[in-house]
Amino acid sequence: MTGSLIVQRDVVMVTTDGVELRADVYRPDTPAPVPCVLTRTPYDKSRQLTVLAGLDPWRAAEAGLAVVCQDVRGRHGSGGVFEPFAHEVADGVQAVRWVAEQPWCNGRVGMAGRSYAGATQWLAAIGGAPGLRAICPTVTASELYEGSSYQGGAFQLGANLFWAHILTRRQGRRLTADYEHLPLSTMDAFRDTSAGFYYDWLAHPSRDEYWTRHAVNGGYASAEVAALNIGGWFDPFLHGTLENYREASRLRPGQRLILGPWGHGGVWGGYPDHRLPDMPGADLDLTGVALEFLAGQLGDGVPHREQLGLSEDEPVLLYVMGAGRWRRESTWPPARAVPTPWYLRADGGLSPEPPGDEPTDSFRYDPADPAPTVGGPVMIPGMVLGSSFGPLDNRSVEARPDVLTYTSAPLSAPVEVTGQLSAVLFAATTAADTDFVVKLSDVRPDGASRLLAEGIVRARYRHGTHRPLPVRPGAIERYRVDLVATSTVFQAGHRIRVTVTSSSFPRFDRNLNTGGPIGAEDLRQARVATQTVWHSAVRPSHVLLPVVS
CA 195, 200, 202, 206 torsion-angle sign: negative
Q: What are phi and psi of 231, to 5 degrees?
A: -140, 170
* Cβ-based neighbours of 24, under 8 Å, separated by 6 or more: 7, 8, 9, 10, 11, 45, 46, 51, 68, 69
3-state secondary structure of 121: helix
Catalytic choice (264, 274, 494, 542):
264
Alpha-helical runs (H) found in 343-467: 385-388, 395-398
Is 283 noted as a catalytic residue in this protein?
no
Is 357 noted as a catalytic residue in this protein?
no
Alpha-helical runs (H) found in 366-474: 385-388, 395-398
Whether the Cβ atoms of residue 79 and residue 73 lie closer than 8 Å to each other: yes
Residue 135: CB atoms within 10 A of its CB come to 31
Is 441 noted as a catalytic residue in this protein?
no
Q: Closest Cα partner for 516 from 429, 436, 430, 433?
A: 433
In the chain the domains, ranked by start, together with CATH numbers, are 5-146+210-329 (3.40.50.1820), 337-548 (2.60.120.260)
Give me the residues paired with residue 534 across strands.
426
pLDDT in tens for each of the 549 residues of the chain? 344 899 999 999 999 999 999 999 999 999 999 999 999 999 999 988 788 888 899 999 999 999 999 999 999 999 999 999 999 999 999 999 999 999 999 999 999 999 999 999 999 999 999 999 999 999 999 999 999 999 999 999 999 998 998 888 765 455 678 889 999 999 988 998 889 999 999 999 999 999 999 999 989 999 999 999 999 999 999 999 999 999 999 999 999 999 999 888 754 444 444 456 678 888 888 888 999 999 999 987 545 556 678 889 999 999 999 999 999 999 999 999 999 999 999 999 999 999 999 999 999 999 999 999 999 998 876 554 556 788 999 999 999 999 999 999 999 999 999 999 999 999 999 999 999 999 999 999 999 999 999 999 999 999 999 999 999 999 999 999 999 999 999 999 999 999 999 999 999 999 999 999 999 999 999 999 999 999 999 999 999 999 998
What single letter denotes the amino acid at residue 434?
Answer: T
pTM of the predicted structure, to 2 decimals = 0.95
3-state secondary structure of 240: helix
Region of residue 10 (left: phi > 0; alpha: psi -120 to 50; beta: else): left
Catalytic choice (115, 249, 408, 503):
115
Catalytic choice (235, 361, 393, 509):
235
Whether the Cβ atoms of residue 136 and residue 227 lie closer than 8 Å to each other: yes
Whether the Cβ atoms of residue 520 and residue 183 lie closer than 8 Å to each other: yes
What single letter denotes the amino acid at residue 302?
Answer: V
Quote the CA–CA distance of 542 and 438 in Å, as a whole number: 10
3-state secondary structure of 199: helix
Whether the Cβ atoms of residue 126 and residue 217 lie closer than 8 Å to each other: no
